Every structure is written in structure tokens, then in C-alpha cells.
Amino acid sequence: MPDPAAKVNPVFFALARFATVCLFVAGLSIVSVIGGCQKSVAMTSEAKPPEVIVEHPLTDDVLEYEETTGRLVAKESVEVRSRVSGYLDKAFFSDGANVQEGQPLFQIDARPYEVEYLRATANVDQSKARLQRLKRDEERKRKLYLSKNTTQEDLDLTAADRAEAEAGLESLVAMKDLAKLNREFTHITSPITGRISRRLVDPGNLIKADDTPLVTVMSLNPIYAYFDIDERTVLRLERLVRDGKVKSPRDAIYEVKFSLADEEDYSRKGAIDFLDNHISPTTGTLRLRATVENDDLLLSPGMFIRVQVPIGKPHPALLVPEEALGSDQGQRYIYVLNENDEVVYRRVRIGLLKAGKRVIEEGLEPADRVIVSGLQRVRVGKKVQPKLVERVALNADAPAAESPAKNESKTTIEAKSIEAKPTAGVAGRH
């Protein structure tokens, strides 16, 4: 007999399928609603403009300069040699010591020159005695000639002998003076004040006159700084001189600043006292020289230096923090805000760096608001939420007692964060 439940199964299964489909559709609806809410929340979060820090460019007087490198050179440098030959007896200095002009350095065996001086002295005395005798003979012959007891020939012969003796005496006196000089030359002194090198010859060696180098002495105070500037800078300076804007370094004191290899600030100064008379055809540069005071003897010949050569006179310029600048294939740019707080891409031409801030020569106005922080969150044409920071730069050349702490920048800054508001008259500048 067939089971009665078998007739009900198709309806039951159909209901079951319908219920399953309804539950699946309801689940999809719930998931869609939840996803839509999350997307709406995310879009709402992204719609909030990013916050950035902006500031107005600083206006300050700047002096343009060209940076170059150079070397320190001794103002005076002397390679000491002996003026007489002989064996070296003594050395009176320590290698590398500071010496004064006239200070004893070496002693050469002076005994042969002392003997030569004594011989020359004896020859002079002998010649003097002979000259005195000939003078007396001439006087007697002159009296005899006046009394007609001698001839004119005898008188002339005696006078000639006397004149010959006088000339011989002068020759012997010169030889005596030379012998005296040679004796003095055995005592070698420092020709200048400065620092001495190591001795090149030890006592006991034979010294050849005017040939054997003994030691080198270099002066230290003042000291020369030699450096080169390129041809374009030379032409720029010449045009400024012709226009009467600056004076030529040949006619006035022209100060330059420089720093040593381990120094960052250009705190040392020198005055240009020499310009070469031609531009080198191989390097295209002009050689200049500055005199530098070296009272503490810290500077030594041969040191490497970095030099700042001023160009023109101080003039007002706009400055922005170095971190506000970007680079795009060698072209520098900044981001500024328009009157609607929208980001604007602005190409600029930069100048020198002063106290951590870069001079902007073209592409910026004093009223512009420059983005200095949060650059990674901005997009050109998008609106941002700016906070304005007013910065006031103090004199970068202030005395050391007034300089900021070590963990601060070299330029003292007063900062105040406020909500940025579009300034009147800014529209149309971008």
C-alpha cells in the first residue's frame, strides 16, 4: 500500500525552497545596506579637507654672493740656504717651532773663514804701512824738486807709486770686508718671523754655498687666501662697477667671508688686495687674493677654505623655509593657497640660502600663503584646512650670547597658530 506522505512531499519541498530563497535575498539586502553605510561613512570622512601649515614669506635684506673654494698660502715663504760652504756644526731650533726674525738657526764651522779674515786684516795693515812710506817719499821729493835737487821724473814716479799703493789698499780693504761677511755668513739666522719646518741637513754634513737647502720658514700672520671666480661673475661685477653701484676691489676695501673645512658658518673675514690681470684660458676663472688676520695662529698655509664673495649691495627679498620647496626634474616649485583655500602649484626661481630660509627671486608675492608642512596630503586644485604660522626672523649675525639654544635653528622664531582667513586683495594674485 503506498505511503500517504509521498503525496505531500512535493508541496513541502517547494515551500522549503521558497523560504530558502527569501532568506538568501534578505541576507543580501542586509549586507548591501551595511556596506552602503560603511561607504557613506568613509566618503564622509574623506570629504573633510586635510590640515596643513602655511605662512607668509618673510621680507628681509639679503646680500647676494658667489660661493667658491680656495687655499691658504703663506704671505712670506723662505727656503733657507747657506751663503758659504762648510761643515754644519750646530742647529739651534726644534723642528716645527715658531721662530722670530733674526733668531739663530744654524752654525757652520767658521774657523777657515776666521783665518781668512785675519789674513785679509794683515794684508790691509801691510798695505797701509807701505802707503805711509810712499806718502813721505813723495813729500821729500816734492821739497827736493822745489829746491831744484831732483827731476820732475823722479817726483812723478814717486807720486805714481803712492797712487798705486792707495788703490791696492782699497782692494785689500774690500777683500777684508768680504772675509768678514763670509765669517758672519757661517752664523745663519731666520730671515722672517713664522713657523719653521724640519731641518733637511743634520750637523756634520758638508754644506755647499747657495745650493744646499737647510730649512723652510713660512710667515703665519697675516696669511693669504687665494681663490677663483668664474667669468660670468667677473662680468657681473664689472658691469656693477661701470654702473656705479659698487666700487672695484682694486679701488676700495672689498670684504669676503670664508670658513674652514670643519666650520659651517662663514664667520671669518678677509679683505681682497689682489686681482690677477687676466682670466685663465684653461679654467675660465680669475684668481683673487684676500689678506686674513691670523692672531691666534689657527690658520696654516695649505688649508682648504670655502669663500663667499659678495655681489652688489644688500636688497630686500622674499624668503621661505627650505622644507616648503619641491623639485620636479630640476625645476623648483612651491604650493600656495588661493582665496578659496585651494592648492595652487607655483614654479619659482630660487636664490641663496640664509639662516635656513631660501630666497625666492621669482614666482612669489608677499601676501601669498605658502604651505610649509603637510605637503604629502595636498593635491593641486583641492581644498585644504590651513593653519597660519607667523614667523619673525631675527638678525642672523647677532652675537653668540644672543644665539638660540643648540636644539633650535640659527634664526630665532616666534610662532602663533591661528585659523587662516583669506586676506583682502589676495584674489587675482594666483
More confidently predicted of 407 and 198: 198
Range ranked top by mean pLDDT from 23-27, 57-61, 79-83, 261-265: 79-83
Q: What does the pLDDT average to over 53-61?
A: 86
Nine-digit cell string for 21: 530563497
pLDDT digits (tens, 9 = 90+) for 114-128: 999 999 999 999 999
Q: What does the pLDDT average to over 174-181?
A: 95
Q: φ and ψ at 62, to 5 degrees?
A: -125, 155
Q: Are 89 and 82 a contacting pair, CB within 8 Å?
A: no
Q: What does the pLDDT average to over 233-248?
A: 84
pLDDT for the residue numbered 398: 35
Q: Are strands 326-328 and 213-218 parallel, antiparallel or unpaired?
A: unpaired
Nine-digit cell string for 350: 630660487
Q: Find where cell 703663506 sits.
A: 74
Residue type, 89: D
Whole-number percent of the chain with pLDDT over 70: 80
pLDDT for the residue numbered 316: 84
Domain boundaries 65-74+219-310, corresponding CATH code: 2.40.30.170
Q: Please indicate, yes or no, whether the overall pTM of this predicted structure exceeds 0.85.
A: no
- Mean pLDDT of all residues in the chain? 81
Confidence of residue 47 (pLDDT cuts 50, 70, 90): low
Domain 110-185 has CATH 1.10.10: no
Across the beta sheet with 104-108, the strand order is: 187-189, 104-108, 86-91, 206-207
Q: Are 336 and 371 a contacting pair, CB within 8 Å?
A: yes
Task: Measure the CA–CA gap between 200 and 203, rounded to whole angstroms.
Answer: 10
Confidence of residue 416 (pLDDT cuts 50, 70, 90): very low
Q: Are 217 and 190 a contacting pair, CB within 8 Å?
A: yes
Burial profile 223-257: b = 16 or more Cβ within 10 angstroms, e = fewer: bbbbbbbeeebbebbeebeeeeebeebeeeebebb
pLDDT for the residue numbered 280: 92
Q: What does the pLDDT average to over 173-181?
A: 95
pLDDT for the residue numbered 299: 92
51-62+315-419: what CATH class?
mainly beta
Q: What does the pLDDT average to over 5-24?
A: 57
Question: Mean pLDDT lowest for which of 289-298, 324-333, 357-366, 386-395?
Answer: 386-395
Q: Are 374 and 324 a contacting pair, CB within 8 Å?
A: no
pLDDT for the residue numbered 94: 93
Q: What does the pLDDT average to over 325-342?
A: 87
pLDDT digits (tens, 9 = 90+) for 161-170: 889 999 999 9
Residue spans per domain, the chain: 51-62+315-419, 65-74+219-310, 110-185
Q: Find where cell 581644498 sits.
A: 383
